[in-house]
Amino acid sequence: MVVQLPNGPYFYGLLLILVDILTGKTKNDTVDLKDEFRFVEHIKESRWTSIVYPLTVERYIKKYGNPDSDVAKRIYEIDGIKPNIRINTLPGTPRKLLSLLTTFSWTDKIVFDLAGIDPTGGQRTFDLVKSQVDNSGAAILIDSYDDFKNDCSKFVKFELVSSRN
């Protein structure tokens, strides 16, 4: 499913509100969640930590991944990604794929966005998600563009409505 939010200054705030509803953190009477979804978090590292004790791909997977799953280890199949590479040196797409596969190590029902990656990386991420959720999973992409409108089972477009009289 793709949810298209309006692009602009309200996108990120709306994204966070929608993610909280879809992951069950915020209860909403009009939304009935049959399954528990998990948001693919953006990988953030404090400046201090990145200098003193930089997070590596291997440590990230050990810290945030499910140790009983081999899904997160698929990140090593991506061009040039090795266990000892520091997260703060990864560009947008490999960083997103690392977070995505780590989340998939816990569940196949996810909510994700494509912030911080280029169109080619967006297509690569979308294709990976489609292959991962093919059988029993589900994914909700929250984006401000309709690039994947014809590649999803459901497309929902949000519009901001002015409350002026």
* Domains detected in the chain: 2-157 (3.40.50.300)
Q: Which helix (H) or strand (E) holds 4?
A: strand 2-4
With tokens 């000892």, the residue in question is 84
Q: Which pLDDT belongs to residue 164?
A: 63
Mean pLDDT, 10 residues at a time, the chain of 165 residues: 86 89 86 87 87 91 90 83 91 92 94 92 93 87 89 84 64
pTM for the complete prediction? 0.88
Q: How far apart are CA 130 and CA 57, in angstroms?
A: 23
